[in-house]
Amino acid sequence: MLEMQHSPCRFEIPQSEFTEVRMRNIKIGVLALQGAFIEHEHMLTDLGAVCTEIRQPSDLTGLDGIVLPGGESTVQGQLLHKSGLFTPLRKLISDGLPTLGTCAGLILMAQEISNPVADRTIQEKAAPTAHLGTLPVTVRRNAYGRQLSSFVTEQPIAGIGNHPMIFIRAPYIERTDVNVEILAKVDGNIVAVKYKNQIGLSFHPELSENSNIHEWFLSQCEK
C-alpha cells in the first residue's frame, strides 16, 4: 500500500446537490459486458435505485443514468462493437444522460488515450482501444505501472469530502478541456472529473464501504 499526499481540489460542488435526495424508481443501466458491474449494482440497489444490466441495445431504453464499470477497457471496447452498443450508448451519453465511469469506464469515456505505442500489448497495437470519446480528457492507461499498481488511499473529493479510493491498474487523467471540473487529485495527478452529465473516476468507489459518490450520482439522475 502506498501513502499518497493530500492534494487540494479546485472546484466545489454545492452540498445541496446530493443531500436529501430520494432515489426511488431511478433506473440505472450498468454496462455488464465485463468487469466489476455487480458491485455497482449492489451499491446502487442499497441506495434504493433499480438496476438493469446493459448487454444489448434494447437494454438502453428508459434509463435515468448509466454506469460504466471497471474491468479491461480493451475488452469492453471490443464487446461494445460486437454487441451493437457502441453507437447508441455514445449517443445517449452525448445527449446528456447522467453517466458514471470508473477506471476502465473512464478510459472508455475519454476522448484521448495517451499511452505510447511501446506500452501497448500486441493485440492493442493491432486494434487500439475502441473508446466512446464523450469526455474531453486525455487519460493514461495503467498509469501506475502494470504490475505493482494497486493501492488504497483516502483523499478529498470536491463537494463530497474525504473518500476512500481503491486503485487497481488504474489510469489517471493527464489533460482536461477547460470546461471539465477537476474534483480530486492524488499525488498531483487528476483522478476524478465532472463534465456536464459525465463523472469520470480513476478509482473504484463501488469496492469501498462509502457510497457517497453513488448517492451524488443518483441525485444527478433524478433531475
Question: Is 206 noted as a catalytic residue in this protein?
Answer: yes
Say whether 204 is catalytic.
yes
Tell me whether residue 20 is one of the annotated catalytic residues. Answer: no
Query: Is position 205 an interface residue for ligand GLN (rule: CB under 6 A)?
Result: no
Which residues, numbered 131-190, are part of the site for ligand GLN (CB under 6 A)? Answer: 141-142, 168-170
Q: Is residue 70 close enough to count as binding ligand GLN by CB under 6 A?
A: yes
Cell 480528457, residue located: 137
Q: How far is CA 122 from the centre of its chain?
A: 26
How many other C-beta atoms lie within 10 A of the C-beta of residue 99? 31
Question: Is there binding between residue 112 and ligand GLN (CB under 6 A)?
Answer: no
Minimum distance between the CB of residue 219 and ligand GLN, rounded to whole angstroms? 24
Alpha-carbon span 133 to 220, nearest angstrom: 21
Are the C-beta atoms of residues 65 and 220 closer than 8 Å to each other?
Answer: yes
Contact of 88 with 152, CB cutoff 8 Å:
no
Is 114 an interacting residue with respect to ligand GLN (CB under 6 A)?
no
Give the residue numbers annotated as catalytic, written as ranges: 103, 204, 206
Contact residues toward ligand GLN (CB under 6 A) are 70-73, 103-104, 107, 141-142, 168-170
